[in-house]
Amino acid sequence: MFHFFPFKVSASEYETIRTADLSNKKRLTRKNVISLILVSENIKGMCGLMSVKIVINTPVYRRTNITSMYYFYMKQELVPQLKMFGFDVDVLVSGDRFDYLTFEPFESENFVFVECENNLGLKKNRMLKEALARDADIVALIDSDDFVHANTLQKLVDLVRINLFWASIENFAFFDTDMRTFCEFKGYASSHSLFRNGMGSCRVFSRLLIEQLGDKPFKEDVNKSMDASIKAKLSYLAIPYRHRLLTQDAYLPIGLKSSENIWPLSAYKTIMLDASDPKVVWLSPKYLQF
């Protein structure tokens, strides 16, 4: 039995999943992959996992004050909490030599810099390859201006335990660094191309999925719109959204928004949140001091 799965999977069944050809758009269904029978009584109860390794992948580019605060948060809060949950955790950060200057004071055996030119797709692809080399069971894609609660990441991992491939979160909080205010984005509207696809940051992939996606799952000829870049390949998996999308959570991920963001706050339809709202009060104000 493969230790990552919450139920028994034979070697032949595993190979059927692992070698599924997404590049030819073959949709995986419950007819040809036993592991996607999501309503089976055999997998409703979650089993505990032994020594699961999470690798967090974060691309960076300049914004030294924000990235430094992100590194502090990862080192002081998220990584220790995930280890308390029983996970083995590595953090990969990818940027150029200038970005490394900010990262260097935080560098350690499990906090690793992957040097790369300023090409967002290339950074993401290189980190995925490095995560596999570091024996990742789970890869969490988190942007350098986003703070994620350990409980939220745990819930996303639980979704992947069930569907075997990927999960994301729908709702997100934003902090306007200029106005010093919070707001909530409740997910993409039904008319949007990313409806029920979840946010790109705080997305979680299994090793199983990454092995199927090949060397370049993200486009390397663009420096934004990574969600659209990966959406087509993820859509080949016949996973109902309710089995891969975290739609409500007590602790919303908090993204920092300023004039430097590729996607400004105005690009999202949001509602205001009070700073005392439990959805955002979980993050210590010290991480919002710039």
pLDDT tens-place string over residues 20-32:
555 554 554 434 4
Does residue 99 lie in a domain region? yes
Q: Average pLDDT of the chain?
A: 83
Mean pLDDT, rounded, for 209-213: 87
Does residue 101 lie in a domain region? yes
Q: What is the CATH number of the domain that holds 60?
A: 3.90.550.10
| Confidence label for 181 from pLDDT (cuts 50, 70 and 90) | very high
Does residue 273 lie in a domain region? no
Mean pLDDT, rounded, for 197-201: 90
Please report the pLDDT score of residue 50 as a whole number. 54
Is it the case that residue 120 has pLDDT exceeding 80? yes
Does residue 277 lie in a domain region? no
Please report the pLDDT score of residue 237 as a whole number. 77
Task: Give the number of domains in the chain.
Answer: 1
Does residue 142 lie in a domain region? yes
SS3 letters for the chain?
Answer: CCCCCCCCCCHHHHHHHHCCCHHHCCCECCCCCHHHCCCCHHHCCCCCCCCCEEEEEEECCCCHHHHHHHHHHHHHHHHHHHHHCCCEEEEEEEECHHHHHHHHHHCECCEEEEECCCCHHHHHHHHHHHHHHCCCCEEEECCCCEECCHHHHHHHHHHHHHHCCEEEECCEEEEECCCCEEEEECCCCCCCCCCCCCCCCCEEEEHHHHHHHCCCCCCCCCCCCHHHHHHHHHHCECCCHHHCEECCCCCCCEEEECCCCCCCHHHCCEEEECCCCHHHHCCCHHHHCC
Does residue 211 lie in a domain region? yes
pLDDT tens-place string over residues 212-224:
888 889 988 877 7
Is it the case that residue 205 has pLDDT exceeding 90? yes
Does residue 57 lie in a domain region? yes
Does residue 257 lie in a domain region? no
Please report the pLDDT score of residue 17 as a whole number. 59
Mean pLDDT, rounded, for 264-289: 91
Please report the pLDDT score of residue 140 as a whole number. 98
Look at 3-17, 208-222, 270-284 and tell me which has the smallest mean pLDDT. Answer: 3-17
Look at 30-34, 48-52, 203-207, 214-218 and tell me which has the smallest mean pLDDT. Answer: 30-34
The fraction of the chain above a pLDDT of 70, given in percent, is: 82
- Identify the domain containing residue 139 by its residue range: 11-38+46-168+198-246
